[in-house]
């Protein structure tokens, strides 16, 4: 949600940065649609150079402006997400497709980045013919093993000090119990029902504990992959929203991509992409181990997504993602059933998941 005073202050800072660092006049600063976080984004339309000898440069740039995190958006005791740098430059140096950085103002938390346009994998995949969709997703899936082969012996990249662990999985469970269970039950959960969720997520953490931890984007879904405009150099797909990267089991990014709430892929395509990815992963897990971890992570991830969509709508009046609740519930139910078949101790958690209604909740009054 836009705040006029905040937007005006951002625009003034962005104009000053573009003039100082790029020697370009800014013709317009246009707010862009942000995600569920509080970070702000703008497109800068760049005008003529300030000085006759300055090369023209790009016609536009995208600015990301840091903002205080939503205090309910991460578990207690976990530090805020690190800045975009040095992770962005680390990935760029490794040959991964990320936007170039044009300028920055660290004191104001501003990064001025290459403008890769607005066409996301989501926007490209939904109208695409099956063959084109499969090709797009094959390119996206191929990024996962490339990320997982990276290491940081220098210790300069904070992402390698962050990990999906029992505390973070427990937070996802608490959020699900608080925000999602009332939707399933039509009332607040009892202490016993809340304990089923707590114990279930603790068991998921135990089952994932032995998995190797590899670098993961952490939110590698269709809205965080942009298709470069025709004519721009570089790979067709580029990753954005990088700053949350951490170490996670090898299947984590594949769950984000292939069990996305925004694009529901046919199951045979999911299976084919999983098979190709498994063979390319540095650890090359067995098919059985890969499938077990994929479903456990899908259960935890989609539970968190469902809860987050509801929580942000109720607390902040931002109901944009409620339309994607039905797809999230379908993926969540399927993962819960498969997990319960393999691990009967998680059957009670699966029962609670199956009670979730497969419909978009009504938006709260303040969001209408």
Q: From the first residue on, what is the mean pLDDT of each consecutive set of 10 residues in the chain (368 residues)?
A: 72 95 94 85 92 74 86 68 95 97 94 96 97 97 98 96 96 96 95 98 98 98 94 85 97 98 98 98 97 98 97 90 96 98 98 94 64
The domain 116-368 having CATH identifier 3.90.1200.10: the answer here is yes
Q: Is 45 helix (H, G, I), strand (E, B) or coil?
A: strand
pLDDT for the residue 318: 86
- 364 exposed, middle or buried (CB, 10 Å; 0-12, 13-18, 19+)? middle
Joined together, the tokens standing for residue 207 give 């089952």
Phi, psi angle pair for 301, to nearest 5°: -65, -45
pLDDT for the residue 312: 92
pLDDT for the residue 1: 47
Peptide bond into 263 cis (omega under 30): no
pLDDT for the residue 37: 77
pLDDT for the residue 49: 87
DSSP 179-193: IIHHHHHSSPPPHHH
pLDDT for the residue 38: 81
Q: CB neighbours of 303 closer than 8 A, spacing ≥ 6?
A: 172, 173, 176, 180, 332, 353
Nearest to residue 113, comparing CAs of 8, 9, 226?
Answer: 226
Could you state, in order of their start, the residue ranges of all structural domains in the chain? 1-115, 116-368
Please state whether the predicted TM-score (pTM) of the whole model is above 0.75: yes
pLDDT for the residue 286: 98
């Amino acid at each position: 949600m836009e705040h006029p005073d905040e937007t005006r202050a951002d625009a003034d800072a962005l104009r000053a940065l573009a003039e100082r660092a790029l020697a370009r006049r800014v013709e317009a600063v246009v707010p862009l649609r942000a995600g569920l976080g509080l970070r702000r984004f703008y497109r800068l339309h760049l005008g003529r150079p300030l000085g006759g000898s300055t090369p023209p440069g790009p016609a536009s740039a995208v600015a990301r402006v840091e903002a205080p995190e939503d205090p309910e958006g991460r578990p207690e005791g976990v530090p805020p997400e690190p800045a975009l740098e040095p992770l962005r430059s680390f990935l760029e140096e490794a040959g991964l497709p990320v936007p170039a950085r044009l300028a920055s103002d660290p004191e104001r938390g501003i990064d001025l980045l290459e403008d890769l346009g607005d066409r996301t994998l989501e926007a490209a995949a939904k109208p695409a013919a099956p063959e084109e969709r499969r090709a797009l997703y094959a390119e996206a899936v191929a990024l996962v093993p490339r990320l997982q082969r990276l290491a940081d012996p220098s210790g300069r990249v904070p992402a390698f000090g962050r990990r999906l662990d029992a505390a973070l999985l427990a937070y996802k469970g608490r959020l699900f119990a608080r925000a999602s269970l009332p939707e399933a039950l039509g009332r607040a959960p009892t202490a016993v029902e809340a304990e089923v969720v707590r114990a279930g997520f603790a068991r998921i953490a135990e089952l994932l504990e032995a998995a190797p931890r590899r670098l993961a984007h952490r939110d590698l879904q269709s809205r965080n992959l942009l298709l470069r405009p025709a004519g721009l150099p570089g790979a067709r797909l580029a990753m954005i929203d990088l700053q949350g990267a951490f170490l996670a089991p090898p299947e984590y990014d594949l769950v984000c991509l292939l069990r996305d709430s925004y694009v529901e892929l046919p199951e045979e395509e999911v299976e084919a992409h999983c098979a190709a990815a498994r063979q390319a992963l540095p650890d090359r897990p067995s098919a059985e181990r890969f499938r077990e971890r994929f479903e456990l992570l899908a259960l935890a991830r989609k539970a968190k997504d469902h809860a987050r969509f509801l929580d942000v709508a109720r607390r902040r009046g931002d109901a944009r993602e409620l339309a994607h609740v039905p797809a999230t519930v379908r993926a969540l139910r399927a993962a819960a059933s498969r997990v319960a078949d393999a691990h009967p101790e998680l059957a009670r958690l699966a029962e609670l998941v199956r009670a979730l209604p497969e419909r978009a909740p009504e938006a709260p009054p303040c969001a209408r």
